[in-house]
Amino acid sequence: MSANREIENLIELMAKLPGLGPRSARRAVLHLIRKRALLLTPLADAMQEVAATARECLNCGNVATSDICDICQDNRRANGELCVVEDVADLWAMERSGVFKGRYHVLGGTLSALDAVGPEELRIPKLLDRIPGEHVTEVILALNATVEGQTTAHYIADQLEGQVKLTSLAQGVPIGGELDYLDDGTISAALRARKEF
Ligand SMILES: [Zn+2]
């Protein structure tokens, strides 16, 4: 503990980031201080800006810096396809693969009787509104292959029965696997080979 209080405070905060422990946080902070002009100052500025502007897209639940995210504002993405994911990280994983050209809907979790998470907590009413509102013709259920993910997928499918074509990602998404952990090629293959739900 040779660093002073302000620097220790920064290390403690950094250590709370996913994937960083106290050791790597200490190394990262030391690196940042040594690269003050190149890294530390721009990073502090970028963080301040995001802290001031980041919010949930009112339409899809993506993280954005305006009330409606870039994807929802882009008319070229209004191709009738709506991909339903659990988490923003899953949306970002799909975007990284670059294969999906439609829009998204982020549920923000899965249905869980145990944790008292019902449809209202999951942005499901908003999803149902978007189907006629945005002339959606196909809903792709890209939920994780966990029990909760699949229970949620079946609930949504029941609500949308007869209104739209319902598909789900093909095999290739590992059991219990989260989209975020899949490589881009696997996501692309799973989307291209999607099947009727
Ligand atoms: Zn959006």
pLDDT tens string 89-109 = 999 999 998 989 999 999 999
pLDDT given at position 176: 55
C-alpha 59 – ligand 1 centre gap (Å): 5
For residue 115, what is the DSSP state? T
- Protein residues near ligand 1, an ion, with CB under 5 A: 57, 59-60, 62, 69, 72
Phi then psi dihedrals of residue 81, to 5 deg? -100, 130
- Quick check: 97 and 190 in contact, CB under 8 A? no
Q: How far apart are CA 25 and CA 30, in angstroms?
A: 9
pLDDT given at position 58: 97
Which position has the token pair 């209202």?
120
| Neighbour-count burial of 80, counting CB atoms closer than 10 A to its CB (0-12 exposed, 13-18 middle, 19+ buried) | middle
Task: Identify the segments of the chain with pLDDT beneath 70.
Answer: 1-3, 171-177
Task: Specify the amino acid at residue 38.
Answer: L
Nearest to 111 by CA among 95, 124, 128: 124
Q: What is the pLDDT of residues 47-65, one digit of tens each?
A: 999 999 999 999 999 999 9
C-alpha 74 – ligand 1 centre gap (Å): 10
pLDDT given at position 179: 77
Q: How far apart are CA 109 and CA 119, in angstroms?
A: 10
C-alpha 20 – ligand 1 centre gap (Å): 30
The DSSP H or E segment spanning 141 is strand 138-141
C-alpha 135 – ligand 1 centre gap (Å): 16
The alpha carbons of the chain give a radius of gyration, in whole angstroms, of 20
pLDDT given at position 175: 54
C-alpha 29 – ligand 1 centre gap (Å): 34
C-alpha 104 – ligand 1 centre gap (Å): 7
Nearest to 11 by CA among 48, 50, 20, 19: 20
C-alpha 38 – ligand 1 centre gap (Å): 33
pTM of the predicted model as reported, rounded to 2 decimal places: 0.84
